[in-house]
Structure 1
Amino acid sequence: MLASKRLYPLIACAAIVVAVVAAVTGLAEPVLSPNPLDLTIGEYAALDRTGAAGLAMAALGIAAFAVVAGLRSVGAPVDALAERLVLAWGAGLVVLAVLSAVLPATGTDLIAQTYRYLSIAVLAAVPAAGGLTVARFGEDERWRPVARPVEWLTLAGGFGLLALVYVMLPGQGMFVGLVEWSLLGAEVALVGVLAVRLARLTWARGAAHASRAALG
């Protein structure tokens, strides 16, 4: 049981690293745009021919599932709704990864529109989960060290969502790509903070058990 608890944060951290490397590699591809940050996440996925977009989103989906499993395994102070929101974020990213493979091969607008609205829904999930969780972390001794970073990243995500609504409506889409990428970056950072804290808790507990077994 302890071995599986220690495995969850390792999977999450490794998946986040893979996702970041894939995204940076894809954004560096000059074929996409002179400035890839002008592209929305959906536009980037539709134009990408390297597979980096799909890999990054699938890896983030795996990270989300592993983080939720890890939080449950250690009894973290996270309520069911927050867990479901993170799982929805991960599942949505996996669906987007599949759609990113389908989008370039279709000439219809339906999949592109589905991709667009699903990506917006996905981007709203993690800030909402952070808002439900940060107060509980502040009250728990094990999770208090990350309560402030989670709060900052949740606020960044909330402001990012407000900025996204603005640029899509009165802003007429100006800088929408930059806003989407910044918002996704804040969300990945929040999930990463949880994964790193999980790793510290589970591996420290494992080391303590090993020490007691050696002394006993």
Structure 2
Amino acid sequence: MTAVKRLYPLIACASILFSVVAVVAGQFGPDPYLDPLNVTISEYAVSDRGGVTEVAMAVLGVGSLALLAGLRATGAPVRGMPEWLLGVWSGALMVAALVPTTPIGADLDLAAQVHRYVSVAAFVSLPAAGALLVPRLASDERWKPVARVVEWVALAGGFGLLAITYVAMPGERVMIGLVERLLLGAEVALLGVLAGWLLWTTVSPRLSAGRLVPFGDRGVARERERVAAGSALGGASWRSAA
């Protein structure tokens, strides 16, 4: 495996960790009169003078792209719709970070409308990607150990998506900040599981079951050589016995 492939999970894990810490830290910076339980992260970010929240969103988007690149480079079962949805999530995050919404109570301008739609796209795409990945991961020997965890966090993200849809429309935004933060927590957890397992498979060829799993072209080549050598030895032993 090339050094570049090994860098992808490192970048992804570091970006996710940085984003979580930055978002939490950003909650203490804006106007103390803002209630995080009833104010969305985007609205909180408008009053964040240091721009910590926007930076965290952009970094998380970059880290998600690195995660997607790492999954593809190592042959993880993400081809097709899951990789497209992960790409939508990553791109939407970066656009939302660059195009802020309007302050609370102000009319929505064009930039705020763009921010709203890309935020919706981000929130919807990641739980959908997780749901599509579950059967694929379960049928892949390298990823089977985390398939159930991915299923749990994807399900939590789905419930969170339903909850924020209700709160944002008939629920009149009551506790929308809390619901959004819980949804985002489930989605970041999904990214964390994928990035963490990707990193684990790159640094250790032996998974939790204790069985050697070839990973990368060199690993596959070594496994083929071992099987071929074993077959040749078995054939020689059979001929000697005969």
Do they fold alike, i.e. is TM over 0.5?
yes
Specify the alignment match of 2:163 in structure 1. Answer: 163
**Other-structure match for 1:59:** 59
Per the alignment, residue 4 of structure 1 pairs with: 4
Where does structure 2 lack aligned partners over 5 or more consecutive residues? 207-213, 223-242
TM-aligned CA deviation for residue 168 of structure 1: 1.6
Deviates more, 1:113-122 or 1:50-59: 113-122
Note the C-alpha offset of 1:29.
2.1
1:167-199, Cα deviation, whole Å (9 max, x unpaired) = 122211111111111111111110111001010
Distance across 1 between alignment mates of 2:5 and 2:37 = 37
The letter for the 1-side match of 2:80 is: A
Q: 1:1-150, aligned counterparts within 5 Å?
A: 1-29=1-29, 31-100=31-100, 109-150=109-150
Structure (1 or 2) with the greater helix fraction: 1
Which one is further off, 80-89 or 106-115? 106-115
* Whole-angstrom CA distance in 2 between matches of 1:59 and 1:33: 27
Q: Deviations over 1:131-187 (max 9, x none)?
A: 110011111111011111100000001001111111122211111111111111111
Ranges in structure 1 where 5+ consecutive residues have no aligned partner: none
Larger Rg: 2
* Identity of matched residues, %: 52
- Corresponding letter in the other structure for 2:40: T
Q: Which amino acid aligns with 1:176?
A: I
In 2, Cα distance between the equivalents of 1:89 and 1:52? Answer: 20
Q: Secondary structure at the match of 2:75?
A: coil
User: Structure 2 vs 1, CA of residues 108 and 154 (structure 1 numbering), >3 Å: closer, same or farther?
Assistant: closer
Q: TM-score, normalised by structure 2?
A: 0.79
Counterpart CA distance in 2 for 1:33 and 1:175 is 16
- Deviation larger for 61-70 or 43-52: 43-52
Q: TM-score, normalised by structure 1?
A: 0.88
CA contact (8 A) 1:127 1:187 kept: yes
CA contact (8 A) 2:38 2:173 kept: no
Q: Counterpart amino acid of 2:198?
A: L
CA distance in 1, matches of 2:4, 2:112: 39
TM-superposed CA distance for 1:121, in Å, is 1.7
- AA aligned to 2:109 is D
| 1:81-138 deviations in Å (ceiling 9; x for gaps) | 11111111111111111113x857x986222232123212211110000011001111
Using a 3 Å threshold, how does the CA distance of structure 1 residues 32 and 65 change in structure 2: closer, same or farther?
Answer: farther
CA distance in 1, matches of 2:7, 2:19: 18
SS in 2 for 1:166: helix
Question: Does the CA contact (< 8 Å) of 2:30 and 2:47 recur in 1?
Answer: no
Output the aligned Cα RMSD.
2.3
Higher normalized contact order (CA 8 Å, seq sep 6+, divided by chain length)? 1
In the alignment, is residue 193 of structure 1 matched against residue 187 of structure 2? no
Residue equivalent to 2:227: none
SS at match of 2:99: helix
Secondary structure of 1:43's aligned partner: helix
